[in-house]
A and B are shown apart, each in its own frame.
Chain A
Amino acid sequence: EAGVAQSPRYKIIEKRQSVAFWCNPISGHATLYWYQQILGQGPKLLIQFQNNGVVDDSQLPKDRFSAERLKGVDSTLKIQPAKLEDSAVYLCASSLLGTSPNEQFFGPGTRLTVL
């Protein structure tokens, strides 16, 4: 089966600019996650969707980050305006919906550099 797709793979912007990332999860996966992975650290959850509803966005910096999953499939994550500390790899993951936690499958990530 096809894996989680993300684009772009790399993005370089200047601080205060805006940027958007796109994710297409594995077909049939109702749950979609966006993680931020700063160099040398583990992934940190930014937002979790179940179909097109938000389950957890407690760690999303809502003053500058936004995300949507309008039709319950693809998702976009936006940063506006970007700060230097936003430089990181942004990982999208998806999983099946179930009564207990299921394996999360990760995409290749988007490496963002903010200058």
Chain B
Amino acid sequence: GENVEQHPSTLSVQEGDSAVIKCTYSDSASNYFPWYKQELGKRPQLIIDIRSNVGEKKDQRIAVTLNKTAKHFSLHITETQPEDSAVYFCAASGYSTLTFGKGTMLLVSP
């Protein structure tokens, strides 16, 4: 089955800095890569996703890149704000079954 590795497990940045979270996947058949944000005690919410026919996708301060050859994808957050503090999960899917990474706790200090 699919295996998703996520790094780092914790990331601390100053407000205004950029943050990058990286994930690798094992199944070359995976073609859908969402990123979820989960605030403490709340449900995971989709923030951005990318499909395998696209190399990069942006949405305001958030961008995701995908390298199918290397089987890795990354989340980039620019101009971080304290409200970006949360746990971020990457995931990979071949059809509809999602396999999640272990998460990255992002801490943005004012």
Q: Residues of A at under 8 Å CB distance from B?
A: 31, 33, 40-45, 48, 55-56, 58, 91, 95, 100-109
Contact = CB atoms under 8 A, between A and B. Distances in A.
Interface string B73-110: 00000000000000001010101111111110000000
Which A-B residue pairs are the 9 nearest by beta carbons? A42-B100, A101-B32, A106-B43, A101-B93, A42-B89, A106-B44, A101-B96, A43-B100, A103-B46
Interface string B1-30: 100101000000000000000000000000
A43 B51 CA distance: 21
A106 B32 CA distance: 17
Nearest to A102: B96
A105 B46 CA distance: 8
Nearest to B96: A101
30 contacts: A40-B103, A41-B102, A42-B100, A42-B101, A42-B103, A43-B44, A43-B89, A43-B98, A43-B100, A45-B97, A45-B99, A48-B96, A55-B96, A56-B97, A58-B1, A91-B43, A91-B44, A100-B31, A100-B95, A101-B98, A102-B96, A103-B34, A103-B46, A104-B34, A104-B46, A104-B98, A106-B43, A106-B45, A107-B43, A108-B42
B72 to A, nearest CB: 17
Interface of A is mostly: loop
Contact of A100 (B32, B99, B100): B32
Nearest to B32: A101
Nearest to B92: A101
Contact of A44 (B42, B46, B100): B100
A88 to B, nearest CB: 14
B9 to A, nearest CB: 9
Interface in B44-79: 44-46, 49, 51
Contacts of A106: 43-45
A103 B96 CA distance: 9
Nearest to B94: A101
